[in-house]
Amino acid sequence: MEHPDFKNPVFGPIHSRRLGSSLGINLMPATRKVCNFNCIYCECGWNPSPEHDKKGPKPYMPTPGEVAAALEEKLRDLAEKGKAPDVITFSGNGEPTLHPEFLRIVGDTVRIRNRWSPGTKVCVLSNAGTLHMPGVVEGLLQADQRIMKVDSAFETTLRIINRPGDGYSLSQTITQLKRFEGNFTLQTLFLSGHIEGKPVDNTTDEELEAWFSLVDELRPCQVMVYTLDRQTPAPGLKKCPVEKLEAIAGALRVKGYDVVVAG
């Protein structure tokens, strides 16, 4: 996927290796990342330091009105050109569900989509770490597709890879994911390597056995397995070979799961 420009809350369309032609919505500030995770592979880089946050002004997030106006203008233009995107994706410069008006904005997006591009899906990419927050699950349920990330079935490994903020609990996240009753896509990025001199690998037999059990526990309607696609903020990380991704996918497909692979 091309690296997007976040100057406007609505960007693209860009080509996504997982979603096709994607019109993006960035609910976070244009110039800095806001996220409850600090993933070692994040394409947006590391989170700003707490010291930076204390010194600088409060980051500006686009208002519901600004997002709606930008989306309507873009979808109208694309409709007039006969170039409707495959999907409208909430992604951008951090975790979209952290926006305090997330629920309202998703509702506005669905309404505008229905008017200008009814064949386009509305999708949210989330790290699933905010499902306990008011309005988040309700907002996600308004979307056509919820892509929820869980990069390991072991909290110790997940903390190394994703570096979630204080108060995160994998068991709580799993409980919250069950509220969707399988109506979501489970997304996992597989990698190996070293971080700060210590090994990290969520593709070992032990990791995969636990992850397969987690998939069976959650029963998602779709599973996405993928690996690194560009330079990572943490050095020393390695892509998972496509052959291994296909083997992981194959083990799920024989049990009837719909699996998407992006190497």
What digits encode the pLDDT tens for the residues 167-186?
999 999 999 999 999 999 99
Which of these, 8, 31, 12, 10, lies nearest to 21 by C-alpha position?
12
Question: What sign results for the dihedral spanned by CA atoms 87, 91, 93, 99?
Answer: positive
What digits encode the pLDDT tens for the residues 19-72?
899 999 999 998 889 999 999 999 999 999 765 555 666 778 999 999 999 999
pLDDT band for 16, please (50, 70, 90 cuts): confident
Mean pLDDT confidence for 187-201: 97
pLDDT for 131: 97
Better pLDDT: 171 or 166: 171
DSSP state of 34: B
| Model confidence at 3: pLDDT above 50 | no
The model carries a pTM of 0.93
Second CATH level (architecture) for the domain 10-262: Alpha-Beta Barrel (3.20)
pLDDT for 53: 57
Domain range annotation of the chain: 10-262
CA–CA distance, 71 with 24 (Å, rounded to integer): 9
pLDDT for 54: 56
Confirm if 91 and 26 have CB atoms less than 8 A apart: yes
pLDDT band for 2, please (50, 70, 90 cuts): very low
The tokens for 215 are 């998939």
Per-residue b or e along 39-59, where b marks 16 or more CB atoms closer than 10 Å to that residue's CB: bbbbebeebbeeeeeeeeeeb
pLDDT for 217: 98
Question: At a CB cut-off of 8 Å and minimum separation 6, what does 116 contact?
Answer: 72, 75, 76, 78, 79
| Model confidence at 1: pLDDT above 70 | no
Reported as type and span, the H/E element at residue 105 is helix 102-116
| Model confidence at 98: pLDDT above 60 | yes
